[in-house]
Structure 1
């Protein structure tokens, strides 16, 4: 899978995608940023596990939840809730995987910047491709997903 290969070859000194997205205001589509709040941002995963795979990250570059302020943590959770609402309305998934990987040993691709993954799931969304070919077929490109979801970001402001 492209992401697995990327995570394996990415150098630890490589720029943090969340800090880059935070700093490059005006390049939202290029960085796949859907929404900016006071303490956090919502962006698409460049290497999605499924259509609509979102990541929510605080602006501050910290490796773990306990280093976030109460305000940052609250906004992170509120945005997670609002993202679920948006994804339900747009894609009508049957469920979600929501996860936080803290530390490389736990699977964090960017271990220095804590973030939440939201992966929409549908009944029967797996097939032989991941097993046989080591790849996942995504029915929509990341930029098509961006263009679809950007129309619904008003749901993240509520």
Structure 2
């Protein structure tokens, strides 16, 4: 929880990930790049496979996106669902945007859709008692698994 209370470093990590060379994708956990949007694993996931789908455009307001860019975010989110289903076989999903800091946006200035896979019994007492989330797989292993499926799909 120290990360959450710590001062934010300057810059936008989503812009940095979106503008980085594809050779940096594994380091930045970027699993897919399309013309107007990209997907990356959340470094502080709610669950294994928690993805964020973001436009390259830096804005915190969904109304500021063109219809084309908004559709690209939705289309990539649909692709993410197909990939997660194939790679991890979740039983359900939580999807959504947190627009604005008061709505829970950790990065209020660069909107992104959360795509969170869910399984029966995926909650436990650890987040409540120990302020820690137990994940069944290391994030780098999840990256390799998802990236392979993203690379096979279009």
Pairwise TM-score range, normalised by the shorter structure: over 0.9
Report the counterpart of residue 70 of structure 2 in structure 1. Answer: 73
Aligned partner of residue 32 in structure 2, secondary structure: strand
Instruction: Tell me the TM-score normalised to structure 1 length.
Output: 0.92
* 5+ residue gaps, structure 1: none
Aligned partner of residue 38 in structure 2, secondary structure: strand
Report the counterpart of residue 20 of structure 2 in structure 1. Answer: 24
Report the counterpart of residue 99 of structure 2 in structure 1. Answer: 102
Question: How many angstroms apart in 1 are the aligned matches of 2:4 and 2:110?
Answer: 15
Report the counterpart of residue 142 of structure 2 in structure 1. Answer: 145
Question: How many angstroms apart in 1 are the aligned matches of 2:80 and 2:19?
Answer: 22
User: Which of 58, 61, 65 is matched with 1:64 structurally?
Assistant: 61
Given that residues 50 and 138 in structure 1 are in contact (C-alpha distance below 8 angstroms), is that contact kept between their aligned partners in structure 2? yes
Once the two structures are superposed, residues 67-106 of structure 1 have per-residue CA deviations (whole angstroms, 9 ceiling, x without a partner) of: 0011100010011111111101111111111110011111
Report the counterpart of residue 90 of structure 1 in structure 2. Answer: 87
Instruction: Tell me the TM-score normalised to structure 2 length.
Output: 0.94
Q: CA RMSD of the aligned region, Å?
A: 1.3
